[in-house]
Structure formats: C-alpha cells, structure tokens
Amino acid sequence: MLVNSYFRRACAVSLAFGALTSPFIAQASGPGRTDPRAIDAAVAAFTGAQIGEIGGARLPADHRLQLAACNVPLQTAWHGTNRSTVRVECAGPESWRIFIATRPLPKPAKAANAVKRGDPITVVIRGRGFSVQQTGEALEAGTIGDWISISTARQADPVHARIERPGIAIIPSS
C-alpha cells in the first residue's frame, strides 16, 4: 500500500506491542473514506495527549489520506520500544494500517555514580540485633541501589554489596 510505505519511511519503527482497541470508529470523509480527524482522536485517546504535546502525536494525520472507510473501532498500539510511534489500524473488510509519530516523554537522567572504581568503601552486614562493618575497595562503579563487587582484603574473594550511599555498601543478613 502506498500509504503504508509512506508512513513507514516517515516514522521510526521497530517491534510492535499488542494492539489495544480504541472506542473510535473512523467516520467517512468523502465517499467510502476514513476521516483523518478520527485517526487523530484515536491517537489522542490512546496516548492521553493532544497533537503537539509531549506524549501525543507530533502532527495531525495528513488530510490528504484516502483510506478506506472503517466500520469497526480503530485499533491503536505502541510501535517500537521507545514509544515514539503509534500504530493505528482498521481490521475491517478493507483493512489498513498507518504509523503516527509521537513526541516521546523525556527520558529520566541517569543518576551519577555514588561510588567509583577504586573508592574506599565501608561494607556493613546488618542483622537482627547486630551490625558488622569492614573497609574495602570498590571493584566497580555504581549508583545508589546498585550491587557491586568489593574487595575487603588482598587475598579474600570479593563480596557483593548494595550501595546505600556514597562510601557505604550493605550486605543484608537473611
């Protein structure tokens, strides 16, 4: 299909997630055609954002589209893993599928490392009613909550502990 290939070139696409049914039935736009405004409404309902907003469609569906009329609810699903494209399709007798580019939500900034490789670190073992600690050296970098390897003595095997804050790593006792 010409429309399908046009949108595939226009949108970054990859693997699709399962389709979700939208309550919008594409209204006819001309004899036997789908109104692109119905596609816009389905995408807005699916993403929860209007055209041009972060999370919503980048642009409205092209008013020149000549898609067959769809008498069943439009199906919408994310297309790809980064939520930058929405797949809209009609599963009716004259089925079609298009892809609408979205403005993805900003990715959260990765937290800075709380511990760098080679940093001195205190390893704490906590249990019910006791606490034991020993100094060591971080064998790898990590952020708060990461599990890293720590050398506690020159001839001992490294231990794995969870970074609680800079300079402190915890080994929970069972």
Give tens-digit pLDDT for 13-51. 322 333 333 445 555 455 688 999 999 999 999 999 999
Range of the domain at 132: 120-172
Count the domains in the chain: 2
Helices (H), 11-140: 36-47
Residue 106 tokens, joined? 């900003």
Check whether residue 40 and residue 80 sit in a common domain: yes
Q: What pLDDT, on the 0 to 100 scale, is given for residue 19?
A: 36
Dihedral angle computed from the Cα positions of residues 12, 15, 18 and 23, in that order, rounded to the nearest 10 degrees: 10
Check whether residue 92 and residue 135 sit in a common domain: no
Residue 67 tokens, joined? 């898609």
Per-residue confidence band for 11, with pLDDT thresholds at 50, 70 and 90? very low
Check whether residue 147 and residue 93 sit in a common domain: no
Q: How far apart are the first and last CA of the chain?
A: 61
Check whether residue 39 and residue 72 sit in a common domain: yes
Query: 138 pairs with which residues across the strands?
Result: 150
* 109 within a domain of the structure (yes/no): no
3-state SS, residue 126: strand
**pLDDT tens digit string along 78-116?**
998 778 899 999 998 889 999 999 998 877 766 788 999
- Tell which wins on pLDDT, 146 or 10: 146
* 17 within a domain of the structure (yes/no): yes
